[in-house]
Structure 1
């Protein structure tokens, strides 16, 4: 097809309501990039798990591990930048004079990615004027590991990757009185966020525990999607 035919195809299929479709763009490449309705994050399930199947029950070892403490889970984390933060022991609830045999030690395992929206097939007029919905989803493993086992921080960034145009953070508190061991969903929709957005910074943190053995908090189905829909803020 000709350049104008590719542009018309994009106009017809995406239905962006009169948003500027500049001739300078390679509309064939834009169409093939499928910028709408697909997950823009790389490697959204590093543990090889699906939210449609319950998370595996933690393995209880017959005997304590005799190796060094472990603070990072196993998985293929390609596409993510990762970091491990080992937390100090919490002794606040231990009575004075009590004999301590073992204490759990916790760590935060953080994973982050930055999505370049223009590289994914979106264009400036669309992002600045139409401001399509940006949908964030994540799923983490419910457990009784600790009251706080998951954090999510998402920022919409400008051209310089340092100016924050909009952001959303989640830090849920777990109910330790019940145990269903399912996936818990976290989601958010950015809309009406203003002009200038060019990047999305996605970061989540999951808490792990080591006490004789290692107990991680798993996640799956992380996603960032752009929808050709405009809603008010």
Structure 2
């Protein structure tokens, strides 16, 4: 198939009529990469979970677990950069003179990943002039461990990976008065973000708790998807 035929194939399949599609682009590589409409994050479910499967109810151990405290869930975190922040004990709200046997110790587990948009098959003119929508999506467990159990911060970065062209942050507060234990969706669409975007920095944090045993906040389905839709300015 010729370069012109490959370009036409991409244009038709992705509905890119009106988008800049210069002949200088390697259309064979673009067609093989399929950068539009697929999840550009690697290993989006490192805990092996599926949002379409209901979460199991957490089980309290009959016998306290032995060994040192844990602050990170088990999983295959290939392609993610991870870190853990153990938080100080929170004794607020405990009446004066109360006898404290044990307090939960909380920690933030952070995962981040940088998507190189050009390496994934996108081209300068599409990103700068057409500016397709960039959909961010994530799912986390309503673990009810704390009123704040999830944070998301996504940045659209320039060529130098340090210039922030656009960003979106989420820090929801959980409703603890009514029991709920479901998957909770977080999503955002970047549009009209301006020229220069070359990278997407995806970072989320999940809060875990340790009190005789480890209780994590689970997540799955993290995604960065470039949609073949022109952004509105």
Q: After the TM superposition, which of the residue ranges 101-110 and 173-182 deviates more from structure 2? A: 173-182
Q: Tell me the SS of whatever aligns to 2:134.
A: strand
User: Corresponding residue for 1:52?
Assistant: 52
Q: Tell me the SS of whatever aligns to 1:189.
A: strand
Q: CA deviation at 1:69?
A: 0.7
User: Corresponding residue for 2:79?
Assistant: 79
CA offsets per residue over residues 117-157 of structure 1, 9 Å max, x none? 00011000000000000000000001220000000000000
Q: Tell me the SS of whatever aligns to 1:51.
A: coil
Normalised TM-score (structure 1): 0.97
User: Residues of 1 paired with 2:30 and 2:151: CA distance?
Assistant: 34
Normalised TM-score (structure 2): 0.97
User: Corresponding residue for 1:104?
Assistant: 104
Q: CA deviation at 1:58?
A: 1.6
Q: CA deviation at 1:16?
A: 2.0
Mapping for residues 9-88 of structure 1, pairs under 5 Å: 9-88=9-88
User: Residues of 2 paired with 1:51 and 1:214: CA distance?
Assistant: 22
User: Corresponding residue for 2:122?
Assistant: 122
CA contact (8 A) 2:40 2:224 kept: yes
User: Corresponding residue for 2:178?
Assistant: 178
CA contact (8 A) 2:141 2:183 kept: yes
User: Corresponding residue for 1:145?
Assistant: 145
User: Residues of 2 paired with 1:207 and 1:11: CA distance?
Assistant: 43
Q: Tell me the SS of whatever aligns to 1:12.
A: helix
Alignment gaps of 5+ in structure 2: none
CA contact (8 A) 1:54 1:181 kept: no
CA contact (8 A) 1:20 1:126 kept: yes
Name the Cα RMSD after superposition: 1.0
CA offsets per residue over residues 152-177 of structure 1, 9 Å max, x none? 00000000000000000000000001
| Number of aligned positions between the proteins | 233
Alignment gaps of 5+ in structure 1: none
- Alignment of 1:200 onto 2:200: yes
